């Protein structure tokens, strides 16, 4: 099996894949990282032979790169992916494919022009219960697809949690003892113009939408969304929405309902596939357990109308690989993402979650937010059709600050008049400037 020599752009998130890359006969040979202490730590941990760069153009010219994994800022993947494709380097994009319609169009054009290997590093489809749902769906016993649901919630407000902890520990010296919520704020949003602080709830929908597309093979064609507006709860610093409920009509007229990146209730990943003859879903709060139900008269042989069970990892080599999968992040999904990407390189084949797949998801999230702002549904361009995607080639609207200082051009929340309460802004600023409990500076996370 060929060893894959990988370049890593962004050590923060990318470093979490180190052991998984090794387990799939890969090696990180070069990194591009602007934060010097993190780059130094990577070199210490991964070996003195590791090449370290702080310039992307120099980085992708590193001799002998078999592939590049992009773990940079959420809203800046497409331009770097295109640079990789121009040089014939297979690229794995760890987050979203594009944050503007212009970037989505440019990405698929480059994908076609350079006949590249490009894969969106979306891990949730490979969670065990989602793999089981795909297996059952492809067996055909559920019948024709009618409807599917995908819910992804990352819980509540870290700023509120920080204020609560600060109140509980008001008699302690907070400059010497960090708080759990404060550390979380610094890790995920280390500066005020960070992309997470301006993230519309619809944009980060890969965890809720990708599993449904991957399980069913359906492609979104039309989108409409409605926000859950809760301005008094600071989920993200400059976004007043707790979630967005997104309805998607697909190319076969089936319908998906997804949440995007929600912050309500509790940490939750839930999926449901509904056919004419039956349905399958994972059980909330019960690990990988699934419920598979059939309509009377359509029960397959050796099955019951109502089935509750925990599937097993089937697509693995041996017991040792099962343990590696269990220890991987995101319910084992991180392992399978790397394995699939490396297999595509070794076999010179196109990934299933390719540039069309990723750009379609990005477009769905972008246009879902536009649906909220304008109060109407939007057709999603067919990313394989130049005539349809050409309409969006100059659509650069973005809710994010650019790394070059460019200001956002659209509002990140459903109410254009939303302004965060000053007490929350003050609490956020306090959290990111106070030291960690171990005295090290904030993470400068990508």
Domains and CATH numbers, the chain: 4-122 (3.40.50.720), 123-317+354-446 (3.30.360.10)
- Per-residue pLDDT averaged across 56-69, rounded? 96
pLDDT at 106: 98
Q: Is the pLDDT of residue 177 over 70?
A: no
Confidence bin at 435 (pLDDT 50/70/90): low
Spatial contact of 365 and 203, defined as CB atoms under 8 Å apart:
yes
Parallel/antiparallel/unpaired status of strands 145-154 and 267-275 = antiparallel
Alpha-carbon span 155 to 157, nearest angstrom: 7
pLDDT in tens, 132-160: 999 999 999 999 999 999 999 988 888 99
Alpha-carbon span 372 to 278, nearest angstrom: 33
Closest Cα to residue 6, out of 61, 64, 93, 85? Answer: 64
Spatial contact of 51 and 31, defined as CB atoms under 8 Å apart:
yes
pLDDT in tens, 374-391: 999 999 999 999 999 999
Q: Which residues pair with 200 in a beta bridge?
A: none
Parallel/antiparallel/unpaired status of strands 67-70 and 91-93 = parallel
Closest Cα to residue 153, out of 115, 201, 200? Answer: 201
Cα of 202 vs its chain's centroid, Å: 12
Confidence bin at 175 (pLDDT 50/70/90): low
| pTM (two decimals) | 0.94
């Amino acid at each position: 099996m060929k060893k894959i020599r990988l370049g890593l752009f962004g050590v923060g998130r990318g470093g979490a894949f180190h052991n998984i890359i090794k387990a799939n006969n890969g090696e990180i040979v070069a990194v591009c990282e602007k934060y010097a202490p993190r780059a130094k730590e990577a070199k210490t941990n991964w070996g003195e032979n590791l090449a370290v760069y702080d310039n992307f153009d120099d980085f992708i010219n590193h001799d002998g790169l078999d592939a590049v994994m992009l773990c940079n800022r959420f809203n800046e993947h497409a331009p770097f992916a295109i640079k990789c494709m121009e040089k014939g380097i297979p690229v794995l994009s760890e987050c979203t494919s594009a944050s503007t319609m212009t970037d989505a169009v440019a990405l698929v054009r480059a994908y076609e022009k350079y006949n590249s290997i490009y894969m969106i590093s979306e891990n949730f489809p490979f969670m065990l219960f989602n793999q089981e749902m795909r297996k059952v769906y492809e067996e055909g016993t559920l019948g024709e697809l009618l409807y599917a649901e995908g819910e992804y919630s990352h819980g509540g407000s870290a700023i509120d949690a920080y204020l609560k902890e600060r109140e509980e520990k008001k008699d302690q010296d907070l400059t010497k003892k960090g708080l759990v919520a404060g550390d979380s704020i610094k890790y995920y949003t280390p500066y005020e113009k960070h992309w997470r602080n301006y993230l519309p709830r619809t944009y980060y929908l890969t965890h809720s939408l990708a599993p449904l597309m991957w399980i069913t093979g359906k492609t979104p064609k039309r989108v409409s969304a409605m926000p859950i507006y809760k301005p008094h709860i600071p989920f993200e610093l400059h976004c007043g929405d707790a979630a967005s409920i997104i309805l998607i009509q697909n190319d076969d007229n089936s319908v998906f309902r997804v949440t995007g990146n929600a912050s309500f209730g509790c940490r939750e990943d839930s999926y449901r596939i509904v056919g004419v003859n039956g349905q399958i879903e994972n059980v909330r709060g019960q690990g990988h357990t699934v419920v598979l139900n059939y309509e009377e008269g359509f029960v397959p042989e050796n099955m019951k109308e109502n089935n509750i069970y925990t599937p097993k990892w089937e697509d693995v080599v041996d017991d040792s690989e099962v343990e590696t999968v269990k220890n991987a992040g995101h319910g084992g999904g991180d392992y399978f993402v790397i394995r699939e990407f490396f297999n595509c390189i070794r076999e010179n084949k196109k990934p299933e979650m390719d540039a069309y797949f990723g750009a379609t998801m990005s477009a769905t999230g972008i246009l879902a937010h536009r649906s909220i702002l304008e109060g109407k549904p939007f057709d999603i361009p067919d990313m394989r059709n130049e005539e349809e995607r050409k309409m969006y080639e100059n659509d650069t609207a973005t809710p994010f600050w650019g790394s070059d200082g460019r200001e956002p051009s659209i509002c990140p929340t459903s109410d254009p008049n939303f302004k965060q309460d000053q007490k929350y802004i003050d609490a956020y600023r306090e959290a990111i400037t106070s030291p960690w409990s171990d005295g090290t500076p904030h993470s400068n996370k990508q």
